[in-house]
Amino acid sequence: MKVNVNRRAFLAGSTAMAVVALAPAGPALAATGALSVWKFGGTPAEVEAWPAANERFLAENAGVELNYSFFNGQIRRQKLLAGFQTNKLADVIIAFGQDIPEFAGFGMIQPLDDIAGDQIAGWKERMVPEVLNAGMHEGKLYGLPTYVDMSAFIAIDSDAMAEAGFDRPPATWSELRAYAKAMTKPDRPGIAFPATTAPVDINIFEGIAYANGGRIFDEATGQVRLNDAGVVDALQLYADLIADGSTPSGNSMTETNFRDTAQLFGQKRAAMWIGLSWLNTPWGVQEGMNWQGAPFPKPDAPSGAYPPVAAIMDGTAVLMVSSRTQNPEAALAYIDFWSQDAQLNIWGGNPEIARVPAGKAAWKEAGLAKAWPAWVASYEAGTLFDGAEPMPRFIGVSAVESALATAIQQVVLGQKTPQEALDEANAAAQAQIDLLRG
Amino acid sequence: MNRRSDIWLAYFMILPVVAAVLAFVIGPTWDVITLSLTQFVMGQARGFGTLVNFKALLADPVFPVVLKNTAIWILGGTVACVLTGLCVGLFLAIDSKLTGALRALILLPWVLPDVVTAMAWKWMLHGQVGIIGDSFSRMGVTDGPISFLGNPDMVMWILVLILVWRKMPLVALILCAAIRAVPAEQIEASRMDGANAFHRLRYVILPNIAFSLTAVTVISMIWITAEFTLPWVTTGGGPANASQIMATYIYQQSFQFFNWGVGSAMSVVNLVFLMLVVGLYLYINRRSWAAGGNA
């Protein structure tokens, strides 16, 4: 059979076929228009690195007018609430994973599943599943985490440890008490822990309590669980360390937050300190000081009613899309940009190495393996996130954590026993939860 | 112009102020009152005309502590500010080169931003690295460094001291100006009549500055009630709520817990408390106010 096809018809037909064939695989329409981004909190290196990455975003998205603002992490609720009430919320909010349930419950943010379409497949491909899950709430993805912090960890002055006759970090609570006592000198306590009302200080304690099988809230029953054995015994550990004479005075720890405690450790004013996974990396230590980080020792016999966790984790730079955004295309383009390997590679080579990376490719970086070999080995063995759970997140979490902070301070000050303080905190927090949830 | 057009002009001239007061004072106050009578569930308004927020406030074990701390903060702070301001004002009213220079220098604490003041004091008073506790320890006054802000029995009074350091200079300068305006012949006459320094202060100077003293007391009380940054940055309400005052607890309830109804209920209690105290003070001092106003 002979088919008569002239040149013009052939060109028109083949072009049409090419367009049809290539259309789904081609790049999405470039985002345009105004895009406002509010970022809350971050370490000094992160605060510097983020605007530099924004420049790369603008180079790739020339049609977007990016209005980026950075704010202190502690004012994020106030700022976002004001923005929400006055219809001036940014298109993209970069806040903490712990905020997601409340922001979602109040209608401030929208599920990415509903607007991101097939972009989510790319995110899943590039990101560590456990970290991406930290952006989930009630089965939907509300935020894209760029890293997570884990709790609880311990920083140890290696020279002080060797001087006390130990050759490895403590592995259990009873060992920790023995180490802390042995490493205490008249002018240098063996261990310090932050006990202010700062959220990070509370997260540090929660990491210890959750590893003991404690939980602060049971979502299934709507009950606050602060006075369960898992939490009470974890607080007893704080009380024991103080009673052993291994810490600074309780009074001074209630005015010394995580950052200050890290700096005291870095100045050799404490031989160990309890913190999140980043420990001293954002602030450094004295020149020549040998120190190491290790997971916080485990309880000798977990006493809580829930399964003990290996660690709890949360992202503090989770990208969310406002429910009031007028430019979802640009907002998604920005989030997709941050899901790329180049951005997830721990701030473009800046040694912000104590953030637990969210990108799979970041785990192959030589710098990370050199700084945290145990993490990388554990990740490659598939055990790093085994038994790790998100940090507490539910509507009313701030009220419960505030009551917990008060209980911690009462115990650290010697005003009450852990059981008494947590019984009172439980009742106060439950009242707040009931009011908030109706 | 006739009288009627004068009246309309007067109304027209005060219109911007009336509009500003309505927009920025009456409006928000009304809003807070209605919020306090509204129950919020999951951030959504669910029914107006309820006392649930006030009931929650009364059942809150922290609230009595907040009331006690607020009383120390407002009443203690005002009394301390005005008394030290009066003493310093009396000293500054003396004519000399030293007091001339001090009148300018004393304003330094006043011009520093609140956050800078709070952070500076926080570190100077810190239990482990604070210069004040360390100095006491080195001088042998104490056995070891003192954690001023970590001691629940001490923290409110330390905050009041910081407050006095910050607010007193302006009080002192206002009172200094009032003292220097007291007619010299009255002081001279009392001296010739045999009045000693205390008598001159009690029977000549104080009656003459009563108007300024009343005004500065009321203004100080309002300033201190509205002060949030200083206590929040210095202690965050801790330790264990020992320095939690109305301003910080309202902030915490509203912006940390998203409990807007309870936050508004506390604001209403705060407003009523302030109106009562100021009203009582003005009532007691109405004679001196009138005398000063006529002077």
For the segment B172-197, what is each residue's pLDDT rounded down to a tens digit? 999 999 999 999 999 999 999 999 99
Clarify whether residues A182 and A295 are in a common domain. yes
Clarify whether residues A72 and A216 are in a common domain. no
Task: Give the pLDDT score at A369.
Answer: 83
Clarify whether residues A231 and A85 are in a common domain. no
Clarify whether residues A123 and A215 are in a common domain. no
Q: Do A252 and B150 touch (CB under 8 A)?
A: yes
Clarify whether residues A131 and A224 are in a common domain. no
Using a CB-CB distance cutoff of 8 angstroms, which residues of chain A are in contact with residue B129? 264, 269
Average pLDDT, chain B: 89
Task: Give the pLDDT score at B165.
Answer: 95
Say yes or no: B259 contacts chain A, CB-CB below 8 A. Answer: yes
Q: pLDDT per position in chain A (438 positions), as tens?
A: 444 555 555 555 555 555 544 444 444 456 889 999 999 988 888 888 899 999 999 999 999 999 999 998 888 888 888 888 788 899 999 999 999 998 998 889 999 999 998 899 999 999 999 999 989 999 999 999 999 999 999 999 999 999 999 999 999 999 999 999 999 999 899 999 999 999 899 999 999 999 999 999 999 999 999 999 999 999 999 999 999 999 999 999 999 999 999 999 999 999 999 999 988 887 888 889 999 888 899 999 999 999 999 999 999 899 999 999 999 999 999 999 999 998 888 665 565 667 888 999 999 988 888 877 878 888 898 888 888 899 999 989 999 999 999 999 999 999 999 999 999 999 999 999 998 887
Q: Do B60 and A428 touch (CB under 8 A)?
A: yes
Contact (CB, 8 A) for A81 and B40: no
Task: Give the pLDDT score at B204.
Answer: 94
Clarify whether residues A133 and A220 are in a common domain. no
Q: Which residue of A has its CA nearest to B130?
A: A252
Clarify whether residues A320 and A259 are in a common domain. no
Answer yes or no: is A16 within a domain.
no
CB-based contacts of A216, cutoff 8 Å, min separation 6: A206, A209, A224, A225, A226, A231, A392, A400, A401, A404
Average pLDDT over residues B151-180: 95
Answer yes or no: is A6 within a domain.
no
State how far residue B151 is from chain A, nearest Cα, in angstroms: 6
Say yes or no: B240 contacts chain A, CB-CB below 8 A. Answer: yes
Query: Which domains are seen in chain B, by residue range?
Result: 44-294 (1.10.3720.10)
| Separation CA B219–CA B222 (nearest Å) | 5
Q: Do A436 and B256 touch (CB under 8 A)?
A: no
Strands A136-137, A140-141: pairing is antiparallel
Burial (CB count <10 Å: 0-12, 13-18, 19+), residue A407: buried
Task: Give the pLDDT score at A26.
Answer: 40
CATH, residue A381: 3.40.190.10
A299 vs B21, more confident: A299
| Separation CA A271–CA A259 (nearest Å) | 16
Using a CB-CB distance cutoff of 8 angstroms, which residues of chain B are in contact with residue A106? 42-44, 258
Q: What is the pLDDT of residues B111-129, one digit of tens each?
A: 889 999 999 999 999 988 8
Answer yes or no: is A1 within a domain.
no
Q: Which residue of B has its CA nearest to A409?
A: B240
Q: How many domains is chain A partitioned into structurally?
A: 2
Using a CB-CB distance cutoff of 8 angstroms, which residues of chain B are in contact with residue A80? none
Say yes or no: B143 contacts chain A, CB-CB below 8 A. Answer: no
Q: How far is CA B8 from the centre of its chain?
A: 38
Q: Do A249 and B127 touch (CB under 8 A)?
A: yes
CB-based contacts of A160, cutoff 8 Å, min separation 6: A183, A188, A271, A272
Say yes or no: B60 contacts chain A, CB-CB below 8 A. Answer: yes
Strands A311-314, A388-390: pairing is parallel
Clarify whether residues A423 and A378 are in a common domain. no
Clarify whether residues A289 and A335 are in a common domain. no
Task: Give the pLDDT score at A436.
Answer: 83
| Separation CA B99–CA B80 (nearest Å) | 22
Clarify whether residues A417 and A278 are in a common domain. yes
Answer yes or no: is A4 within a domain.
no
Answer yes or no: is A175 within a domain.
yes
State how far residue A101 is from chain B, nearest Cα, in angstroms: 10
Say yes or no: A256 contacts chain B, CB-CB below 8 A. Answer: yes
Clarify whether residues A233 and A307 are in a common domain. yes
Answer yes or no: is A12 within a domain.
no
Q: Do B150 and A250 touch (CB under 8 A)?
A: yes
State how far residue A73 is from chain B, nearest Cα, in angstroms: 12
Position A368: which residue type?
L
Checking if the pLDDT of B227 tops 50, the result is: yes
Task: Give the pLDDT score at A348.
Answer: 58
Q: How many alpha carbons lie under 13 Å from residue B169 in its C-beta half-sphere?
A: 14
State how far residue B17 is from chain A, nearest Cα, in angstroms: 25
State how far residue A437 is from chain B, nearest Cα, in angstroms: 5
| A:B CB pairs within 8 Å | 117
pTM: 0.85
Q: How many alpha carbons lie under 13 Å from residue B226 in its C-beta half-sphere?
A: 7
Nearest of B118, B78, B69 to residue B249 by alpha carbon: B69
State how far residue A360 is from chain B, nearest Cα, in angstroms: 34
Q: Which residue of A has its CA nearest to B55?
A: A435
Please provide the distance, in angstroms rounded to a whole number, between the alpha carbons at the two ends of chain A: 78
Clarify whether residues A95 and A132 are in a common domain. yes
Task: Give the pLDDT score at B122.
Answer: 93
Say yes or no: A81 contacts chain B, CB-CB below 8 A. Answer: yes
pLDDT above 90 coverage of chain B, percent:
64
Task: Average the pLDDT over each of A40-49, A129-138, B40-49, B89-98 and give the range with the smallest value.
Answer: B40-49
Using a CB-CB distance cutoff of 8 angstroms, which residues of chain B are in contact with residue A415? 152, 240
Answer yes or no: is A432 within a domain.
yes
| Domain extent at residue A261 | 152-313+396-437
Answer yes or no: is A25 within a domain.
no
Task: Give the pLDDT score at A16.
Answer: 59
